[in-house]
A and B are shown apart, each in its own frame.
Chain A
Amino acid sequence: MNQQQKNRKTIRRLVLMAIGMFGFGFALWPLYNVFCDVTGLGGRAIQISENNNQAVASHRVVSIRFDATVNSSLPWVFQAKEKVHEYNLGVPSKALYLAMNPSDEALTGQATYNVAPPEASLYFVKTECFCFTEQTLQPHESREMPVYFYIKDDLPEHIKDITLSYTFYRQGYTPSGGMNHH
């Protein structure tokens, strides 16, 4: 093989490596999500529809703390109706949040949620939640927002307390200071 052919072969391989690593940078995004779902590190709960509810009731109880936050871009009042409550494992339950729009304009928000400790998120099953859809509140409207869930009965013994946290963001708001209407 002469010099030029050898160089071409080297370049081809190295260019492929560079392109591959560019792809890998983007692939980190789904990989990271899969990793978090498998390990529970992102604090994402399990989501299923109510029909394939496989809850097995147990006598063990766990204390759940309900946390509520509103991003500063959204002028809402948002809180849990009951801050702490004890629940039996495996019993489908309901918790209520309360959102109020004190401003004079209709505002749309969407909530993200998080379960702590992350390990518990693998046992936290949500069957219905207001966080899956956009919520629009008319001026001065207030609304109860329910969460339906149960805790799997095989929750590890050492977990005695779980926190479920919601944060409401203004829909379409970008931190660059402008509104993106898409």
Chain B
Amino acid sequence: MSTDITSNDLDHAHDGHDDHDHKPKGFLNRWLFTTNHKDIGTLYLFLSLIAFLVGGSMAMVIRAELFMPGLQLVEPDFFNQMTTMHALVMVFGAVMPAWVGFANWLVPMMVGAPDMALPRMNNWSFWILPFAFTMLLSTLFMDSGGPASGWTLYPPLVLQTGNSLAFVVFAVHMLGISSIMGSINIIATILNMRAPGMTLLRMPMFVWTWLITAFLLIAVMPVLAGAVTMLLTDHFFGTNFFNAAGGGDPVMFQHIFWFFGHPEVYIMILPAFGVISEILPTFSRKPLFGYSSMVYATATIAFLSFIVWAHHMFTVGMPLQGELFFMYATMLISVPTGVKVFNWVSTMWKGSMTFETPMLFAIGFVVLFTIGGFSGLMLAITAADFQYHDTYFVVAHFHYVLVPGAVFALMAATYYWLPKFTGNMYSEKWGKIHFWLSTIFVNVLFFPQHYLGLAGMPRRIPDYSPQFADFNMISSIGGFAFGATQLIFVGVILHCIFRSKVKATGQVWEGARGLEWTLSSPPPYHSFTTPPEVSHNMVRHAD
């Protein structure tokens, strides 16, 4: 913290007088040993972009195999490894680190802090990740192959993984440690380092949603760590937590896993809600509608996420009372979520809207995420879930909330803040092309999967009955096109960082409000070393 900044200042007092930002000299010093929140944010964002492409390639393998009925390209076991690794890489490698990256960049600037509360731990929480991913991905090249049980790692199936299971478990441990440290850092920054006048209810929605997300992470990542540790000891040390032959219970794993797993899906989507709540007011040139109800709705969603886990396992043979409880609790979540969607629509209502790329992605999010929400309501109906369970309907549902949901929000955030981060404008033309191609093909990719699921096509199976052939082919074509479209995204980002000649102003967007827009673009390497005084007219919301 403050000591770091002074020692950096001392170290570099003699060199680089033209470099008034006092960036560390040399590639290793700058990136490997960095304690600067902006550098660490950049590292997180690049890691997640790479993971997005790696996980995306695995999805291409899946869609290529499913292009036609029959087994064409890969062995069934490798197909199952692909579905498992695609999910693990996308969840833990693409979406979660991307949100931590944005939190690193933005939370200190948004609350007027000079850096994160614990800069050295911040460095550590990032640099664990590349090692964890190397371990996880290396299992694909081992004799026993990668995990092939689906990302939920259900026993007894997952216990049939060979010795590579140990690598998977330790990788999950490391990812969990990284997330917990990142969360502690974010909470400490938000609670202790806000500038004078930045009261809790003046904080931007992105900061609020991340504060709540960080608490969710600290509450559930250790539970996942416990569950996979039990898998490890069941596999290697003869314990019987989940082994029915030894008096254990495989269904108990599902309970423990989903106690983590359901809050986990909100960990991926709450920061997205925050980003959308930042972007819509900017391009509608209106304050966010219902700011405090947004805060309370987020907190309510977070609380409810702890009491709905068994809706993932309606078919395991729960008593009727249990099924009814989890059904009603799940449906209850649509109330605070509905509050959010109506607030977003009301924010746009009668606004002077313009449709720059971030706004397009934000509106795309509101529409397509809501479709995913509705299919979630259908799945919540216990009786109907017995038909939908483990079919492509479920796949369509969670991809709608994760791809045009969380991933679109990440893209919106990228287009929105990239000019702030780099000081250069991205290409609006190519941004818009990226948006329209993504939006069209994400629907070509996932919408037919609703029909496949309703017709009974099971998920995680490399072959299917010929009756499902047409929709699978359409879905695969959408998948290839969506995948190729993301290369445009990579191109736009690289062009913006390295080639763009158009300089961004400090405020970047006409309607942008909030502390980060009061800084220059790019912001100085050490921003807000003297805390700003926050007045009411600097915050986004009216109430």
Chain A residues in contact with chain B, CB under 8 A?
3-4, 6-7, 10-11, 14-15, 17-26, 28-29, 32, 39, 41-42, 71, 110, 112, 118, 167, 169-171, 173-177, 180, 182
**B460 nearest CB across to chain A (Å):** 18
Are the C-beta atoms of A3 and B192 separated by less than 8 Å? yes
Chain B contacts for A25, CB-based, 8 A? 222-227, 256, 259
Chain A contacts for B245, CB-based, 8 A? 71, 110, 112, 169-171, 173
* Residue picked from A4, A23, A175, most chain B C-beta under 10 Å: A175
Chain A contacts for B156, CB-based, 8 A? 175
Taken together as a complex, chains A and B put the C-alpha atoms of A51 and B1 apart, in Å, by 70
Which 8 interchain pairs have the tightest Cβ spacing?
A25-B226, A169-B245, A22-B222, A21-B222, A25-B223, A175-B156, A6-B192, A10-B188
Chain A contacts for B225, CB-based, 8 A? 22, 25
Chain B contacts for A15, CB-based, 8 A? 184
Chain A contacts for B390, CB-based, 8 A? none
Chain B residues in contact with chain A, CB under 8 A?
1-2, 117-118, 155-156, 159-162, 180, 183-184, 187-188, 191-193, 218-227, 230, 234-235, 238, 241, 243-247, 249, 252, 255-256, 259, 318-319
Chain A contacts for B226, CB-based, 8 A? 22-26, 28
Give B220's nearest chain A residue, CB to CB. A21
**Residue from A4, A6, A21, A170 in contact with B223 in the complex, judged by beta carbons closer than 8 Å:** A21
**Residue from B230, B234, B252 in contact with A32 in the complex, judged by beta carbons closer than 8 Å:** B252
Taken together as a complex, chains A and B put the C-alpha atoms of A142 and B187 apart, in Å, by 65
Taken together as a complex, chains A and B put the C-alpha atoms of A153 and B510 apart, in Å, by 79
- Further 13 A-B residue pairs, CB within 8 A, beyond A26-B226, A175-B155: A11-B184, A14-B187, A18-B180, A18-B218, A21-B221, A29-B230, A32-B252, A71-B245, A118-B319, A171-B245, A174-B238, A175-B243, A176-B159
**Residue from B162, B188, B219, B319 in contact with A21 in the complex, judged by beta carbons closer than 8 Å:** B219
Give B224's nearest chain A residue, CB to CB. A25
Taken together as a complex, chains A and B put the C-alpha atoms of A45 and B246 apart, in Å, by 17
Are the C-beta atoms of A175 and B159 separated by less than 8 Å? yes
Are the C-beta atoms of A4 and B218 separated by less than 8 Å? no
Are the C-beta atoms of A11 and B188 separated by less than 8 Å? yes
**B36 nearest CB across to chain A (Å):** 18
Q: List 14 A-B contacts (CB under 8 A).
A: A4-B1, A11-B188, A18-B184, A20-B222, A22-B226, A25-B225, A25-B226, A28-B256, A39-B319, A71-B245, A112-B245, A112-B247, A175-B155, A177-B160
Are the C-beta atoms of A7 and B188 separated by less than 8 Å? yes
Are the C-beta atoms of A17 and B256 separated by less than 8 Å? no
**Residue from A29, A174, A176, A182 in contact with B252 in the complex, judged by beta carbons closer than 8 Å:** A29
**Residue from B162, B183, B230, B246 in contact with A176 in the complex, judged by beta carbons closer than 8 Å:** B162
Are the C-beta atoms of B319 and A17 separated by less than 8 Å? no
Taken together as a complex, chains A and B put the C-alpha atoms of A112 and B318 apart, in Å, by 19
Are the C-beta atoms of A176 and B160 separated by less than 8 Å? yes
Mostly, the B contact residues are: helix
Are the C-beta atoms of A174 and B184 separated by less than 8 Å? no
Mostly, the A contact residues are: helix
Chain B contacts for A28, CB-based, 8 A? 223, 226, 252, 255-256, 259
* Residue picked from A39, A174, A182, most chain B C-beta under 10 Å: A174
Count CB-based A-B contacts (< 8 Å).
Answer: 108
Are the C-beta atoms of A176 and B235 separated by less than 8 Å? yes
**Residue from A11, A42, A112, A182 in contact with B238 in the complex, judged by beta carbons closer than 8 Å:** A182
**A116 nearest CB across to chain B (Å):** 9
**B217 nearest CB across to chain A (Å):** 9
Query: Contacts A21-B223, A28-B252: A175 and B160 contacting too (C-beta < 8 A)?
Result: yes
Are the C-beta atoms of A32 and B255 separated by less than 8 Å? yes
**Residue from B161, B193, B243 in contact with A3 in the complex, judged by beta carbons closer than 8 Å:** B193
Chain A contacts for B246, CB-based, 8 A? 169
Query: Contacts A7-B117, A25-B226, A112-B244: A42 and B249 contacting too (C-beta < 8 A)?
Result: yes
Taken together as a complex, chains A and B put the C-alpha atoms of A14 and B186 apart, in Å, by 11
Chain A contacts for B187, CB-based, 8 A? 10, 14
**A165 nearest CB across to chain B (Å):** 12
Give B144's nearest chain A residue, CB to CB. A176
Taken together as a complex, chains A and B put the C-alpha atoms of A22 and B222 apart, in Å, by 4
Give A168's nearest chain B residue, CB to CB. B245
Taken together as a complex, chains A and B put the C-alpha atoms of A19 and B221 apart, in Å, by 10
Chain A contacts for B183, CB-based, 8 A? 14
Are the C-beta atoms of A41 and B319 separated by less than 8 Å? yes
Chain A contacts for B191, CB-based, 8 A? 6, 10
**B31 nearest CB across to chain A (Å):** 25
**B385 nearest CB across to chain A (Å):** 19
Taken together as a complex, chains A and B put the C-alpha atoms of A71 and B161 apart, in Å, by 20
**A43 nearest CB across to chain B (Å):** 9
Give B260's nearest chain A residue, CB to CB. A25
* Residue picked from A4, A25, A110, A176, most chain B C-beta under 10 Å: A25
Chain B contacts for A3, CB-based, 8 A? 1-2, 192-193
**B307 nearest CB across to chain A (Å):** 14
Query: Contacts A7-B192, A22-B222: A180 and B241 contacting too (C-beta < 8 A)?
Result: no
Taken together as a complex, chains A and B put the C-alpha atoms of A7 and B188 apart, in Å, by 6
Chain B contacts for A23, CB-based, 8 A? 226
Chain A contacts for B2, CB-based, 8 A? 3
Chain B contacts for A19, CB-based, 8 A? 222
Chain A contacts for B159, CB-based, 8 A? 174-176
**A130 nearest CB across to chain B (Å):** 15
Chain A contacts for B222, CB-based, 8 A? 18-22, 24-25
Taken together as a complex, chains A and B put the C-alpha atoms of A122 and B84 apart, in Å, by 40
Taken together as a complex, chains A and B put the C-alpha atoms of A176 and B231 apart, in Å, by 12
Query: Contacts A14-B218, A118-B319, A174-B243: A24 and B184 contacting too (C-beta < 8 A)?
Result: no
Give B223's nearest chain A residue, CB to CB. A25
**A103 nearest CB across to chain B (Å):** 18
Taken together as a complex, chains A and B put the C-alpha atoms of A180 and B247 apart, in Å, by 16
Taken together as a complex, chains A and B put the C-alpha atoms of A182 and B252 apart, in Å, by 24
* Residue picked from B188, B244, B245, most chain A C-beta under 10 Å: B245
Give B162's nearest chain A residue, CB to CB. A176
Taken together as a complex, chains A and B put the C-alpha atoms of A40 and B245 apart, in Å, by 20
Taken together as a complex, chains A and B put the C-alpha atoms of A175 and B243 apart, in Å, by 8
